[in-house]
Amino acid sequence: MGRTNPTFRDELDALRGDWEDYRRCLRRSDQERFDSLFDSARGHADACSHLNPHDPMPAVLFSMLLEQQRRIEEIERRLEDGEGGGGEDDVVSDATSNAVSDASSGEPPEEVELKGTPGLEDS
């Protein structure tokens, strides 16, 4: 007897295929961003598979948001530590490169403790 449900990675691949026409209409630089977003969702597929969602899109979107939050916190940390040498653009580029390599390696991304956005606690 086989599996009754497709794996989350299979569902993610199918969902990505559903969006392929949209991707094709994007500029090349945005196609790379699109690919990066889906790669970041794939990096959280193990956690998403525990949900066994009927509709995978909320889990995919949350995974993308989680990865974006991780990138933001990494950039903020580097800016606070004075890293980057060449300015903010280098910090953003380095953090993005690290996040993409984490996602494309198949390894789960480093864990992130979600906190409120710094500076907005009082509002």
d(CA 80, CA 92): 13
**What integer pLDDT is reported at residue 4 of this predicted model?**
73
Average pLDDT over residues 99-120: 50
Q: What is the pTM of this model?
A: 0.61
Average pLDDT over residues 86-104: 54
Q: Which two tokens stand for residue 50?
A: 């525990």
Average pLDDT over residues 91-114: 52
pLDDT in tens, 37-83: 999 999 999 998 888 878 899 999 999 999 999 999 999 999 999 87
Residue 3 has pLDDT above 80, yes or no: no
Residue 7 contacts by C-beta under 8 Å, 6 or more apart in sequence? 49
What does the domain layout of the chain look like in residue ranges? 8-104
Residue 118 has pLDDT above 80, yes or no: no
d(CA 44, CA 34): 16
